[in-house]
A and B are shown apart, each in its own frame.
Chain A
């Protein structure tokens, strides 16, 4: 124990733990971060799905939550919280979301955004 304390530097085991930690984090990035562009925006209000919009069409959406109106903007395949009645404005600061799986949450007004993929089980459509 004393040996560990005399020097503040990492020991062999610490380095091992850090390396494993890095691999773990890299693995998380690899599995949870998609490069895929999103196709749809799902908006939840409270525990319900409020609406799902295509990202193809630009539009503004105003949602009445418990503490006021949250404005969400869809533009050029991206979506963001434009304005929110909450105090901390974390949701607005999250900025644009554009990739599948990205999400932004406004806890105070109980509004959450999640970008979904095209959910297309195919590459192109024959019609």
Chain B
């Protein structure tokens, strides 16, 4: 009889496999969701907590509206004049990367318009609608802050334009993804999925299948499609539904057009999918914006300019336009009425 018990125990133990360890926490003012597969629970928790510590550090160091952050101090020095101040090598590197991408986007990706973002009330934890101050907006647009106004010499930085006010909101989450991926690989983790406020990067796969991510429907509280995110790939979405307020029948979203200082209209969401590269995370965060801000007939060009092959656009009427390569990757859960493949 004893051997029967043994056989039984064997059967039960065969059922147990390394579980998926999923952690949800709140960093960068948004939800951070880390899944690690195929590691012991202990290891997964250890790595997760390291990554979260890194994220916390990034959040505090590069916070756009907490006056004691390194970024805020830099912004203060920009206002003060053209005296270079010493910044961390990391921030120097980040700014250089942001400058390159801003130039590539012909100024549509512009993290130096913190002044405008602040005027629109989006630099707040608890977001509340603001009164639109057209004069202030006009003034800030005319001041024309650009990333190219920033002069970086090693770790010494100054701005030739006092209107430059950095807000890395559309960059830092992507940067954090790249950093986390490096960290995971360093720790020997083979399979993980990291989601920072909707921007996701994948490593390895989930069990014997690729990681699968859902794409949020811009107007309904449910996903509209799924995409298999292969190892090293990243996905990002710019949507008018994340942070916005409505006034006089208009929707004012947090994605502000640096050319006129007003929130972009006529686009509900742009999703981009990036192949593995050391800056896949950053690109997933950055490249959706120029496409979002472009006129419908310019979107394809904007994507090409940013080197994005896989993109999906939902216009103001809910019509979907996507690139042929993206079309092959998307699996619809709620197929939209009109789909155009570019």
Query: Which secondary structure dominates chain B's binding surface?
Result: strand
Report whether B4 and A122 are in contact in the complex, using a CB–CB cutoff of 8 Å.
no
CB neighbors of A among B64-103 (8 A): none
Please name all residues of chain B whose beta carbon is closer than 8 Å to the beta carbon of A33 when the two chains form the complex.
15
Report whether B236 and A126 are in contact in the complex, using a CB–CB cutoff of 8 Å.
yes
Quick one: given A125-B223, A126-B200, A127-B198, are A120 and B214 in contact (CB under 8 Å)?
yes
Please name all residues of chain A whose beta carbon is closer than 8 Å to the beta carbon of B35 when the two chains form the complex.
123-124
Report whether A126 and B271 are in contact in the complex, using a CB–CB cutoff of 8 Å.
yes
Report whether B239 and A127 are in contact in the complex, using a CB–CB cutoff of 8 Å.
yes
Stretch of A19-27, A66-74, A90-98 that contacts chain B = A19-27
Q: Which of these, B198, B236, B242, contacts A125 with CB under 8 Å?
A: B198
Bound Cα distance A24, B241 (Å):
51
Q: From B17, which residue of chain A is reached at the shortest CB distance?
A: A35
Quick one: given A30-B11, A127-B237, A127-B242, are A122 and B195 in contact (CB under 8 Å)?
no
Please name all residues of chain B whose beta carbon is closer than 8 Å to the beta carbon of A29 when the two chains form the complex.
11-12, 15
Report whether A121 and B212 are in contact in the complex, using a CB–CB cutoff of 8 Å.
yes
Q: Which of these, B12, B15, B211, contacts A123 with CB under 8 Å?
A: B211
Report whether A126 and B193 are in contact in the complex, using a CB–CB cutoff of 8 Å.
no
Q: Which of these, B7, B200, B271, contacts A124 with CB under 8 Å?
A: B200
Please tell me if B8 contacts chain A, counting CB pairs below 8 Å. yes
Please tell me if B336 contacts chain A, counting CB pairs below 8 Å. no
Please tell me if A18 contacts chain B, counting CB pairs below 8 Å. yes
Q: From A18, which residue of chain B is reached at the shortest CB distance?
A: B4
Report whether A126 and B235 are in contact in the complex, using a CB–CB cutoff of 8 Å.
yes
Bound Cα distance A33, B15 (Å):
10
Quick one: given A22-B4, A121-B226, are A126 and B11 in contact (CB under 8 Å)?
no
Please name all residues of chain B whose beta carbon is closer than 8 Å to the beta carbon of A125 when the two chains form the complex.
195, 198, 213-216, 223
Please name all residues of chain A whose beta carbon is closer than 8 Å to the beta carbon of B239 when the two chains form the complex.
127
Minimum Cβ distance to chain A for residue B25 (Å): 14
Report whether B8 and A22 are in contact in the complex, using a CB–CB cutoff of 8 Å.
yes
Q: Which of these, A18, A25, A120, A127, contacts B216 with CB under 8 Å?
A: A127
Please name all residues of chain B whose beta carbon is closer than 8 Å to the beta carbon of A124 when the two chains form the complex.
33, 35, 193, 195, 200, 211, 213-214
Please tell me if B296 contacts chain A, counting CB pairs below 8 Å. no
Report whether B8 and A126 are in contact in the complex, using a CB–CB cutoff of 8 Å.
no
Report whether B15 and A121 are in contact in the complex, using a CB–CB cutoff of 8 Å.
no
Flag B212-226 by CB within 8 Å of A: 1 or 0 each: 111110000001001
Report whether A19 and B4 are in contact in the complex, using a CB–CB cutoff of 8 Å.
yes
Quick one: given A126-B235, A126-B237, are A23 and B198 in contact (CB under 8 Å)?
no
Quick one: given A30-B15, A35-B19, are A126 and B7 in contact (CB under 8 Å)?
no
Bound Cα distance A122, B22 (Å):
13
Please tell me if B333 contacts chain A, counting CB pairs below 8 Å. yes
Please name all residues of chain A whose beta carbon is closer than 8 Å to the beta carbon of B227 when the two chains form the complex.
126
Q: A23-B7, A121-B214, A127-B239 are in contact. List 5 more A-B contacts (CB 8 A).
A: A121-B212, A125-B213, A125-B223, A126-B213, A127-B242
Give 23 A-B contacts (CB < 8 Å), ordered by A residue.
A19-B4, A25-B8, A26-B8, A29-B11, A29-B12, A30-B11, A30-B15, A121-B223, A121-B333, A122-B212, A122-B226, A123-B35, A124-B195, A124-B200, A125-B198, A125-B215, A125-B223, A126-B200, A126-B271, A127-B197, A127-B198, A127-B215, A127-B241
Binding site for A on B (CB under 8 A): 4, 7-8, 11-12, 14-15, 19, 33, 35, 193, 195, 197-200, 206, 211-216, 223, 226-227, 235-237, 239, 241-242, 271, 333
Binding site for B on A (CB under 8 A): 15, 18-19, 22-23, 25-27, 29-30, 33, 35, 120-127
A-B pairs with lowest CB-CB distance, top 10: A26-B11, A127-B216, A127-B198, A122-B214, A124-B195, A122-B212, A125-B214, A122-B226, A30-B15, A126-B235
